[in-house]
Every structure is written in structure tokens, then in C-alpha cells.
Structure 1
Amino acid sequence: LVKDLGAPVEYIVLPTFAYEHKIFVGPFSRKFPKAKVWVAPRQWSWPINLPLQFFGIFGAKTLQDEDMSTPWSEEIEQKVLSSPEV
């Protein structure tokens, strides 16, 4: 798909705190090192609450509800649904 689009990957977005999604962000960010990483708020893991760096996620920015500072804000509306504080 990346070759078909003919453009570099600019953003990697982790839209959830679920482990089964989080585990792929580190490898994606290593494959596309110039891509900026954005994550949903209140990231956590269970049974041990590990930092994002443990999953290979470095320098991530946190998504905010209706944030107009995201690079895609003029193209895509965003609504952030979050978990309760853990």
C-alpha cells in the first residue's frame, strides 16, 4: 500500500490503549522512523503498567478531543474517546 500511494508514511496513530494494537506501533515507528507518533490519552498496560517506551514508542504526542493542532485537522474530524483514569 505504501508503494502504491507513492508517498512516505508521515503519521502513526494509536487510537486505543489496547495492547493488541499498541504492540505494533514500535515496529511501525522503526520501519518508518520519520513518521510522527500520536497516541490516545491515558495509555496503560496490565497487569504491570509499563511506559510506552517499553513498547518501542518514543516521542509520542497525545491526541486531544477536537484538537486543531494535529496535522490532519483540516482533512479529518477527530473525536477522542477515553478510558477512565487507571
Structure 2
Amino acid sequence: MLVLSRRKGESIVIQDNIEITILGIEGDNVRIGIKAPRQVEVFRKEIYLSIQELNRQSIAHGQADIAKLMERFSQSSES
């Protein structure tokens, strides 16, 4: 992990197209601004983890549905 110190108004740049700027610091809270191309998705980590979990559940549910479909298909082809 790269650790940097920045003051209000200072930025860091990731590759050529993502800029993170410190907007303000109040106690334990740091406000940041992120400039990135529209196609780059930016999420708070807790939201990102929720999305990943929902995707895993969706895949697991989809696999169960596929298994049921295959079972029905094999039963109908045996008849």
C-alpha cells in the first residue's frame, strides 16, 4: 500500500485520468473529490462489497436454476 500525506487542496493522480483531491479535513473526517472518466466506476468500499455479495448470491441462485432446468430437461428426454 502506498501511503501519502496531503493537505487541503492537494491532489494525487492515478495513471493519466484519475485525480483525487483533498477538499477538507474536519476532525476524523476527510472530504475527498474524485475526477475520473464516466466509464470508471467509483464506490465507497461498503457499497462495493454489498454489490459483490449480491452478485455472488445472484450467481449461486442462477446456478441452482440451471441445475433445476437441466434436471427437467433430462427427465423430459427420458420419456
TM-score, reference length from structure 1: 0.22
Q: Which has the higher contact order (CA 8 A, sep 6+)?
A: 1
**TM-score if structure 2 supplies the norm length?**
0.23
Structure (1/2) with the larger strand percentage = 2
Q: Which has the higher helix share?
A: 2
Rg larger in 1 or in 2? 2
